């Protein structure tokens, strides 16, 4: 069901090798995530759903804004996960992880963006709102998004450890009392992964047991 994000005929994407599929750290020094691994099938994760391809430039534009917010988080020493909420074609709220600074594991990007949204609109308007987030929502956030009735979620890279939109649990689509929501991954996936890699080669002074990372090198291949 997925299709390549690259334009038809684009030969710029190399055939993945064993080296390309090595793990990248999502360190337990962070908030609630211990590690995300590169998926076994890199090719599948580099493909996009046809529904996304219909308006690819629009989706990329909104995800680019989320990536930019994640860059701000990284510059501030925070886990570079960020999101934007889009209502009636416009970004009306932004959020970035605040778990390191606040030492509060619930202050994920999605929760902060929702708080901003609710300061402007009634909760019912979330049913007409889409979320663009750099990393697949965790199980906690995926559940909250479903309870709020988010219309759709688009994310960059998957979360093999705690993903709530299909990587671990399909909270967004499993049978439940609340109506589920569609979720599409892979938009600027490589950029999202590189942000995480850049963060996890740094020292995390807020970690319970900081680990020396001076000998770590940034892996440029995704």
CA distance 183 to 130: 10
Q: Map tokens 């559940």 to a residue.
A: 143
pTM: 0.76
CA distance 218 to 188: 18
Q: Which of 78, 110, 136, 191 is catalytic?
A: 110
Instruction: List Cα–Cα distances, 61 to 67, 90, 142, 187, in angstroms.
Output: 10, 11, 23, 10
Residue 57 within any structural domain of the chain: yes
Query: Taking each helix axis from N to C terminus, what angle separates 56-75 and 189-200, rounded to the nearest 10 degrees?
Result: 10
pLDDT average, residue stretch 193-215: 70
Residue 41 within any structural domain of the chain: no
Looking at residue 65, what is its pLDDT? Answer: 98
Residue 11 within any structural domain of the chain: no
57 φψ region: left (φ > 0), alpha (ψ -120 to 50), beta (else): alpha
Q: Which DSSP string do the residues of 127-149 spell out, in sequence order?
A: GGEEEEEEE--BHHHHHHHHHHT
Question: pLDDT tens, 22-48?
Answer: 333 433 333 334 344 444 444 566 789
Q: Which of 16-22's residues contact partners 24+ apart within 8 Å by CB, and which partners?
A: 16/42, 16/43, 19/221, 20/221, 20/222, 22/219
Residue 78 within any structural domain of the chain: yes
Active site residue 110: yes
Q: What is the mean pLDDT of the chain?
A: 80
Count the domains in the chain: 1
Lowest mean pLDDT among 60-64, 137-141, 167-171, 208-212: 208-212
Residue 75 within any structural domain of the chain: yes
CATH classification of the domain holding 101? 3.40.140.10
Q: What are phi and psi of 196, to 5 degrees?
A: -65, -40
Looking at residue 214, what is its pLDDT? Answer: 54
What are the structure tokens assigned to 205, written together?
A: 């002074």
Residue 118 within any structural domain of the chain: yes
Structural contact between residues 11 and 17, judged by C-beta atoms closer than 8 angstroms: no
Which domain covers residue 124, as residue numbers? 50-201
Question: pLDDT tens, 157-202?
Answer: 999 999 999 999 999 999 877 889 999 999 999 999 999 999 988 7
Residue 151 within any structural domain of the chain: yes
Query: Greater confidence, 19 or 86?
Result: 86
Structural contact between residues 56 and 63, judged by C-beta atoms closer than 8 angstroms: no
Looking at residue 215, what is its pLDDT? Answer: 57
Residue 215 within any structural domain of the chain: no
């Amino acid at each position: 069901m997925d299709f390549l994000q690259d334009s038809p005929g684009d030969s710029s994407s190399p055939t993945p090798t064993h080296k390309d599929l090595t793990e990248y750290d999502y360190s337990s020094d962070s908030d609630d995530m211990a590690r995300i691994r590169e998926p076994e099938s890199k090719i599948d994760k580099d493909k996009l759903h046809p529904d996304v391809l219909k308006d690819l430039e629009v989706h990329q534009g909104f995800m680019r804004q989320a990536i930019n917010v994640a860059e701000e988080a990284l510059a501030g020493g925070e886990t570079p996960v960020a999101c934007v909420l889009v209502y009636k074609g416009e970004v009306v709220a932004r959020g970035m992880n605040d778990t390191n600074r606040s030492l509060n594991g619930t202050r994920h990007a999605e929760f902060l963006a929702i708080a901003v949204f609710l300061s402007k609109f009634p909760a019912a308007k979330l049913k007409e709102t889409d979320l663009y987030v750099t990393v697949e929502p965790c199980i906690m956030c995926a559940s909250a998004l479903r309870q709020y009735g988010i219309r759709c979620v688009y994310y960059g890279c998957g979360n093999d450890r705690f993903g709530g939109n299909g990587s671990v649990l399909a909270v967004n689509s499993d049978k439940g009392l609340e109506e589920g929501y569609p979720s599409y991954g892979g938009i600027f996936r490589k950029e999202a992964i590189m942000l995480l890699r850049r963060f996890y080669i740094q020292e995390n002074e807020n970690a319970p047991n900081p680990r020396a990372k001076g000998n770590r090198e940034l892996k440029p291949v995704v």
